[in-house]
Amino acid sequence: MTGTLVLVRHGQSDWNLKNLFTGWRDPDLTELGVQEANAGGKALADYGIKFDIAFTSVLTRAQKTCNIILDNVGQTGLETIKDQALNERDYGDLSGLNKDDARAKWGEEQVHIWRRSYDIPPPGGESLRDTGARVWPYYLTEILPRVLRGEKVLVAAHGNSLRSLVMVLDKLTKEQILGVNLATGVPMVYKLKADSTVASKEVLGDMSGAH
């Protein structure tokens, strides 16, 4: 049997709370975000997993979530690789703007298209397809080979970088992925087959908080 891949979206950040487009900007976790990361870590501790390596982005909110999870499973100091390939989608000109202000400036429909279409990016930013175009090669070259060797791998990253991975793992169409929101701090545990397809998927925790 091959190894295990665990994906976790970071806990709530300060800018999530303020309803701002975040992207590559670097706000910290809120108190609730820390609680969400701890809850995810406790769920993984109860699950009984021990990791061989962790991957995260170069952004504070993902790194802190990763550290909190590793602390909960008793693996503080585990080798952790940070790469901007796993960064959140870049929102370009929307970064730092309040979502309501953006709607007032460009219109509800246009902002909705930028946020939710698969391949139409906001000005100066990335679409979900663009995000996948950097996440997928990194996954194939750096993460997947370790899982196929039997390692247990943690990836603590962001809503859109992880959605682009979930799209491939769960074999979702570009229409289906648009309706998928990942809950903050909730681990998704994938066991992969030798051909890299999914043997099983478990979501640890309450999905009712998905947003």
Catalytic site residues?
10, 88
Cβ-count burial of 153 within 10 angstroms (0-12 exposed, 13-18 middle, 19+ buried)? buried
* Degrees to nearest 5, angle at CA 168 with 12 and 202: 60
CA distances from 137 to 27, 64, 85 (A): 27, 24, 9
Q: Are 41 and 70 in contact (CB under 8 A)?
A: yes
For 107, phi then psi, to 5°, come to 100, 145
Sign of CA dihedral 156, 158, 160, 163: positive
Q: What are phi and psi of 52, to 5 degrees?
A: -95, -30
- Structural tokens at position 208: 């009712």
CB 21 within 8 A of CB 99: yes
